[in-house]
Amino acid sequence: MNKHFQTTGLIIRKFDINEADRIITVLTDDRGKIDCIAKGGRRLKSKFCGRLELFSHIRINCFQGRDLSILNEAQLLSGLTETKEIKKHRILFYIAELTNKLIQRDQQIEGAYPLLLETLRNLEIGIKMDALLYSYLIKLLTLTGFLPQWNKCSACGNPLDLEYPVMRSLAHSNPICHCCATTSDKKIDIGLIKWINYMQKNPLSGNVRIKADEAQYESVWQWLKNILTDIFQKPIKAQEFLELII
């Protein structure tokens, strides 16, 4: 079996080891999430210099080791434009940490790579960053199986009838119909249901055109935090910094 491979991906995590090497986590287009070690990647005269930064879009040539892939070559396809915009930086760090946590090593999630690539390209433009962030989170949670379709009851699977109250399950924060609800479940605002259902079904480019006020954004953000706390049992590290600007 040939252990050499080539692939294209986005760097979603990096950390340095010893005095010279760097390990990167790459979300690839055909191999899922992989970890690679770049021998000498920290040195100023390294052949990888400037190519192993967060969210660099790279084409790589690797050798599959027992634990990590060994990076032989890296071609930079594109990188993030340097910016002093604090909000954009914090959103990027949040997306990086969340993506790395939701997708497991060697796990191939269909649609995750193009979703991240499209999100980064839209962030470069800098339009409606809040809507872009929420749309990315909702779509990634749906792709990874943590978020069911919000047009159905998460308990019985029947289509939601918005003529009746829709409740939020305290067990998993997802919608349940009035027939499956218990007295401890809380009512969900119909606007939130329609918002999330729309974001799940429509392309990212359409979602950033949604017109919403601050109260609607706050409702979606609070719900997203509940969902992510249910999954991880605690807030992720980048959330504290992100909330300074949300």
**pLDDT band, very low/low/confident/very high, at 30 (cuts 50, 70, 90):** very high
- CATH 2.40.50.140-classified regions of the chain: 4-78
- CATH 1.20.1440.120-classified regions of the chain: 86-242
pTM: 0.91
CA distances for 3 relative to 42, 61, 187, 227, angstroms: 25, 11, 53, 39
Distance of CA 210 to the CA centre of its chain: 20
Cβ of 53: how many Cβ atoms within 10 Å?
A: 13
pLDDT at 229 over 60: yes
Which top CATH class is 4-78? mainly beta
Q: pLDDT tens, 182-228? A: 888 889 988 889 889 999 999 888 887 777 778 888 888 988 988 89
Nearest of 126, 121, 55, 118 to residue 85 by alpha carbon: 126
**pLDDT band, very low/low/confident/very high, at 73 (cuts 50, 70, 90):** very high
Which top CATH class is 86-242? mainly alpha
- Supply the pLDDT for residue 106: 92
